[in-house]
Homo-oligomer: A and B are copies of this chain.
Amino acid sequence: MVKKTLKQRIVDASVELFQQDGYHNVTVDRIVEYIGASKGGFYHNFKSKDELLYEIHDVFISYVIQQSQDAYDKYDTPITRLCAMLQTLTQVFDMYQAHITIFYEESRSLSDEYSDIIHKKRDHYRDILQKVIAEGQESKVFRTELPCTIVTMAIVGMINWTYKWFKQSGQLTMEQITDVFTDMVLRAIVTEQAMEEAKQFIIKG
């Protein structure tokens, strides 16, 4: 593994550059110059700049979906599933902050063929989380007076937004932030009678 393929080097460099300056502000020339390669090499590995953007999107969202599904499968109660998913997601966001920045800010630049695929996967990711919330409501573990779609999007928003402000060099680690998020979400949506199970995830005052 000492030798990285040119393709991988292109992807890695692009992720970094796109995050910094945005897809449209980074030229193919700049990417290849950045890694000391040539345009010929670039277009040998990618049909188009657009295909590169798609690959970056797909690597990220496919990983998120798989991790979310794993977290779901690993546990069997709504509360533990939700906590595991929050844990997993923030962890992914910690690792893939550059990818997610591109994912959420450059998806409009994808051409139609790729755009459809990515949007379907993005919806799939949300559906996994929403399923957990809905199942929790069915078993009266989560408050039914809150619409599950809104709860889902509130959680998604809270987590996703971290890509805008989280700094790995900051005061708090992503683990600490996750604990706070988990606490807030559980207190917000768990019913009184189910709060006992959630207690272990709540920060003591």
| Residues of A near any B CB (own CB < 8 A) | 21-22, 24-25, 104-105, 108-109, 143-147, 150-151, 153-154, 156-162, 164-165, 172, 176-177, 180-181, 183-185, 187-189, 191, 203-205
Instruction: Please name all residues of chain B whose beta carbon is closer than 8 Å to the beta carbon of A151 when the two chains form the complex.
Output: 180, 184
- The CA of A40 and the CA of B161, in the complex, are separated in Å by 40
Q: From A157, which residue of chain B is reached at the shortest CB distance?
A: B161
Residue of B nearest to A187 (CB): B188
**Top 10 closest A-B pairs, CB basis?**
A157-B161, A24-B24, A184-B188, A188-B188, A157-B158, A150-B180, A22-B108, A145-B205, A187-B188, A154-B158
- Nearest Cβ in chain B — how far from A166, in angstroms? 8
Q: Are A205 and B161 in contact (CB under 8 A)?
A: no
B108 lies within 8 A of A144 (CB): no
Q: Shortest beta-carbon distance, A169 to chain B, in Å?
A: 15
Check A109 against B22 for contact (C-beta < 8 Å). yes
10 residue pairs of the A-B complex, CB under 8 angstroms, read A21-B108, A22-B109, A104-B164, A146-B183, A146-B203, A150-B172, A151-B180, A154-B161, A154-B184, A156-B161
